[in-house]
Structure 1
Amino acid sequence: MTIFGTPRLLRRLSPKGLLARSLLIIVAPLILVQVITAYVFYDRHWDTITRRLTNALAGEIALVLDEAAHHPEELQRLHATAGLYLQLSFDYQEGRVLPNQPLRLTSALARNMAAALEERVRRPFLMDLERPDGKVRIDIQLPRGVLVVTTEQKRISSFTADLLIYWMVGASVLLFALATLFMRNQVRSVRRLAAAADAFGKGREIGQFKIEGAREVRQAAQAFNLMRERIGRQVAQRTEMLAGVSHDLRTPLTRMKLQLSLARRHPDSGLGADGLDDLLDDVAEMERMVEAYLAFARGEGTEAPVPTDLAGLIEEVVGRFRRHGALVDLHLERSLTLPLKVQAVDRCLSNLLANASRFARHVSVRLGERQGAAEILIDDDGPGIPEAEREEVFRPFHRVERSRNPATGGCGLGLTIARDVVRGHGGEIALLDSPLGGLRVRVRLPL
């Protein structure tokens, strides 16, 4: 396989689940660290320790042999002393000759022991370092026989090697278990979010979705809840719009049908100028309603946000109303640039100013920065809206009959469209009491 196929092979062999991938990310570096640690330990620490231990044992054996060679009468005493203080046991086999065979050095310990004996003892020898009784046996050729030396295996081996292995394996298993438990809890919240999104996409009722998990998962869950609420509001508003279309269009259509029915029964009488004017007024009213419905149904469409000077946009909208005779005071604290859907925000501001100008003689518009957001205040001196009905006016086709007379125009969608646009930009809109005595509309858009 060429090197160019390796990434594709790794992708094919890598686990597909988030839990398995997360554990692989944790376990792979852990195994790598363990392998490097083991290599460094055995290559440095363990080899150094065993070399020192084997050199010490070989030196003790050489010392006993040297003393026995110079003082043969003290041999028994030397053997007893070595057994008592050096944990060495000696057995002299007179007349025995070691076979001439090469040593089998299959481990680093055997190589270190053989090198130490060759350096210190300097006599032919055989050794068995892996006896089942836990002893180390070294046969040394002497001029008249063979000296058999036995001692404990712990004299030339360090238990820290086994301890390190146990510690590494135990720590790895414990870490893997904790990582599995922790990652399973994290993945569970992701799975619940995915299941909720799937159920919501199929139109099922998912109830209150619990936000849990890591910070990023909580952010995704919060975004999902906000999206669900926004879509729910849009669906409810579109449903109300469809219900209101037939209601609002029924009146002008009924009048037009009545006038046409009279004209058909009395063809000689004609509609007359007044009748034609009434029909034209009904057609104009229906046209205005249809335009409002289409604007509401389109929402913000597919328009993309672009960096926009909000102060310049407000000044343009206010200027358009001033040219039509509206009295609007404008105060811009400073220029604020933020990403906006220009046509949608223009429609939002136009609806708010049209609503204020329709019911008031004097309108004031102010733009400033408050708490990290662009704040737009639109005040008027009109009749205002009762506090108990301020939330209801955002519903499609809702009109406040007592204070804002529907006869002055409008079809009850201006504030609904305005709130959709503001919320679509991540902002908020509120209706308050105005210092001018009427209504204040406060719009906040995040910078």
Structure 2
Amino acid sequence: MNQGPMSERPLGQGPMGQGPVSQGLARPVAKRPDKSLLRGLGGLLPRGLLARTLLIMLLPLVVLQGVALQLFYGGHLDVISRRLSAGLAGDVAFVANLVDQVPEAMRGQILREANWRLGLSLGFEPGQLLGTPPARPAWMPFLPLEEDLDHALRERMSFTFDADWHSDPQAIVIRVQTGTGLLSVEAPRKRLFSTTLYVFVLWLVGSALLLAGIAILFMKNQVRAIRRLAEAAESFGLGRDTAPIKPEGAREVRQAALAFNAMQGRILRFVSQRTEMLAGISHDLRTPLTRMRLAIAMLPRSAETAEDLEALNQDLEEMERMVETYLAFARGEGIEAPRPADLVELVEEMAAKSRRSGADVSVNLPEALTLPLRADALKRALGNLLDNARRHAKRIAIAVAEVQEAGRHWAELTVDDDGPGIPAADRAEAFRPFSSGSATGTGLGLAIARDIVRAHGGEILLEESPMGGLRARMRLPV
């Protein structure tokens, strides 16, 4: 029964519209490079820009010279060695055959002619037999030239022979057992060597060293400019006064130096304008506050208004404290420059001041630790930390130590107390201005302390204290 042609359907479509079917063909998946291998190779590379640049410049040169030397002079030396060995072996075989065939009366003349024309030292001992060759020293390496000469002698001579390579450093002694006696041949070693190879190698190495020296000198000058730019940026980031750097080096490095100088000027102008504005606002606020205090003082006193007036006076006192804090911060940030100072002496002074205010302060300090500081500003920061601890705790402990981390030296100052502390979730919020929950604080102490420490290039953190309260850890670069 004829059922007619089968209905066509798109390739990959299953019967009865059941969706695509597998065609049995797998798409090739590109193999990704092993990241661990790439990280391992990256760990072998030098870290410095100078070393990496020289590696990029000199490694292809050395590889190219090595490949050229191996491909060209490797084969060239092998050919020359075989040809020189074949020439010497032919001379020795010719003399040995001639001496063995001529009458005894003609041997002396043949040896003299061979000695003069072939450059060989020859000797013949009639009736003498070839003995055991001298033992080879254990320290002497087996040269490829020995194989070439031995192979050439076996091809060109039918007599028994041996070759001594270590008895004479300037010559090779070959002894041949002929039918009538023993022939001794001393051949100069220079007949098996080509001096052009050494000249080429010396020229190759000398030119590579000269180019490497020029590259190192050039790259040092370029890297020096980048290093100076990095040092200036680091000093500026640590809050130290740095003069504009001199643009030098390549065009791109000069552009980076000019951009850094422009950025430094803009940042200094911004900070100066912000400080002047803050000082001006804080100073202008004193006038209305004074008028408000005078107006409150002139109001009539009564039992009904006494409580309200007292609340207004407390608000005015708090605002005056905030204004004084603003002014103190503005004066310290805008005027003081960092100078070498003894951190230990500064901490002892602030600890004694805190004791006079009634705090129980213990210290654990080294003998001395000198570093560039804005002494007045840092006193203000440490004073804020001690005031906060004194208001909330009974005992305070201050410690100073020098630590090293990530290749850098830090002066670490810790202030511990036995107060209630701050929960870990609220410690970041404690640095925000006006976030203090104290009735007597302005909420600016920790914020100002952090700004001062960061202006020194350091950092301040809040942690849990071993004394059960709060620890303020302050780090300053040495």
TM-score (normalised: structure 1)? 0.50
TM-score (normalised: structure 2)? 0.47
